[in-house]
Amino acid sequence: MKKVTIIGGGVIGLCNAYYLTKAGYQVRIIERGDIHSGTSFGNAGYVSPSHFVPLASPGIVAKGLQWMLSASSPFFIKPRLDWDLIRWGFTFWKNATAATVEKNATPLFNLLNLSRELTTDIKNDLGNSFRMEEIGCFMMYKSLQVEKHELELAEEAKKFNLETRFYNAQEIQDMEPDVEVNVRGGVLYPIDCHIHPGDFMRTLTSYLEEAGAEFQLNTTVTGFTKVGKTITAVQTDKGDFETEDVILSTGSWLPVVSKSLGIDMLLQAGKGYSMTFENISKNLRYPAILVDSRVAMTPMGGDLRMGGTMEISGLNSPQLIKRAQAIYKAALTYYPGLDVSFPDPKNIWSGLRPLSPDGLPYIGRHSAYNNLIIAGGHAMIGISLAAATGKIVEELVSNKPTSVDIKAFDPERYR
């Protein structure tokens, strides 16, 4: 069987490997780290068909500019004279229109929906050692203005036959008997589910090791050997690896790695933070996005994770603890009696979301080479989209028709 090299061992790389291994390919994953931390580990773990509105959407630019004036806001762009950032920002701004969202929501929803089904299939195949709970996810709000926006969104969701349930403050309190909830109301999307992303990564890794996939860890890809339009080997700091097909799934580092192939990818890293409180005595029952503050709350068994913020400050900027403090403070205004304390800064996690300028991933073959597939740019929904991305990558390698139309995800759309 064909030798396939996957570069990047985040959730996208591992899901690619899962479906390729199942299809019988000889799979090698080259990962710079050790697959024990990184963006795919500390995120909120939602698998959410309800996130069908791409990140670039009307109002987001104005809201972002307003947020930038406050140090504790959920959004920050570090001002710098960087041509890639300027180009990305301009393209994002051009995409943040009702017409583009209208065009992109359907392909995004189809991919999300496929992925939701496939994530359950993975659970059925590998066992639920990643704490998957299929009880939906709340969008909770405190203000009338945000309520109005969420009700409009719920109306939009009807287009995709997504079930929505509306709850007032008392009804939500009844559903969360162990913690005090201070909200105006919320919309529950029952189709959504959540997992423990770190356990998901560990489950996939164990399966892949047993199934014979090769992990080349602590190995950085530095270049490629090419013959005409074919990549024949992947060059790394540990030597060269011959290959037949190459999949680039390097998350926020996609433009760095693609550059050595002469390919320019428009993408910025969007840093987010999370804190995990272990074995808390009175936990939430439902995951919830606290929409006014853009904070995500995820109960994971006895643990509780809170996460949020979007900081566009490059690949190597330091953690800003005040951003994590803002998440924590906002969470406590929704759940005032929560029995948690702000963690030691060394226990604050941060990760980099790979942001394309329209909020859609890049998935597909690249015409510069006859054996290169790109699978990246999954922004805020990489866990949600991982299973479907893996399945489509396998279909592309196998030259089969893809399960959903992937035209909208063309990696060359900003060439």
| Binding positions for ligand FAD, rule: CB under 6 A | 7-13, 30-33, 38-40, 43-46, 220-221, 249-253, 257, 272, 274, 296, 307, 351, 353-354, 376, 378-384
φ, ψ dihedrals at 319, nearest 5°: -70, 140
9 to each of 13, 15, 228, 360, 395, how far by Cα in Å? Answer: 5, 9, 28, 20, 19
83 to each of 236, 259, 261, how far by Cα in Å? Answer: 28, 15, 20
* Strand bridging mode 268-277 / 26-30: unpaired
Rounded to the nearest whole angstrom, what is the least distance from the CB of residue 36 to ligand FAD in the complex? 10
Rounded to the nearest whole angstrom, what is the least distance from the CB of residue 8 to ligand FAD in the complex? 3
Q: Choose between 173 and 325: whose C-beta lies nearer to ligand FAD.
A: 325
The residues pairing with 219 across neighbouring beta strands, listed in sequence order, are: none
Residue type, 261: L
Q: Choose between 141 and 349: whose C-beta lies nearer to ligand FAD.
A: 349
Neighbours of 329 (CB within 10 A): 13
Do residues 257 and 248 make contact, with C-beta atoms less than 8 angstroms apart? yes
CB environment 331-358: b (16+ within 10 A), e (fewer): beebbeebebeeeeeeebbbbbbbbbbb
Token pair in block for residue 24: 């019988």
Rounded to the nearest whole angstrom, what is the least distance from the CB of residue 26 to ligand FAD in the complex? 19
The residues pairing with 167 across neighbouring beta strands, listed in sequence order, are: 186
**In angstroms, rounded to a whole number, what is the distance separating the alpha carbons of residues 336 and 356?**
36
Q: Choose between 45 and 54: whose C-beta lies nearer to ligand FAD.
A: 45
**In angstroms, rounded to a whole number, what is the distance separating the alpha carbons of residues 353 and 93?**
18
Rounded to the nearest whole angstrom, what is the least distance from the CB of residue 246 to ligand FAD in the complex? 12
Q: Choose between 33 and 343: whose C-beta lies nearer to ligand FAD.
A: 33
Q: Choose between 185 and 382: whose C-beta lies nearer to ligand FAD.
A: 382
**In angstroms, rounded to a whole number, what is the distance separating the alpha carbons of residues 194 and 286?**
10
**In angstroms, rounded to a whole number, what is the distance separating the alpha carbons of residues 308 and 72?**
11
Rounded to the nearest whole angstrom, what is the least distance from the CB of residue 174 to ligand FAD in the complex? 25
Q: Choose between 247 and 383: whose C-beta lies nearer to ligand FAD.
A: 383
Rounded to the nearest whole angstrom, what is the least distance from the CB of residue 245 to ligand FAD in the complex? 17
Q: Choose between 47 and 183: whose C-beta lies nearer to ligand FAD.
A: 47
Between CA 210 and CA 47, with CA 28 as vertex, the angle to 5 degrees is: 75
Range list of β-strands (E), 119-209: 137-141, 165-168, 185-189, 193-194
Q: Choose between 185 and 307: whose C-beta lies nearer to ligand FAD.
A: 307
Rounded to the nearest whole angstrom, what is the least distance from the CB of residue 168 to ligand FAD in the complex? 26
Q: Choose between 135 and 169: whose C-beta lies nearer to ligand FAD.
A: 135
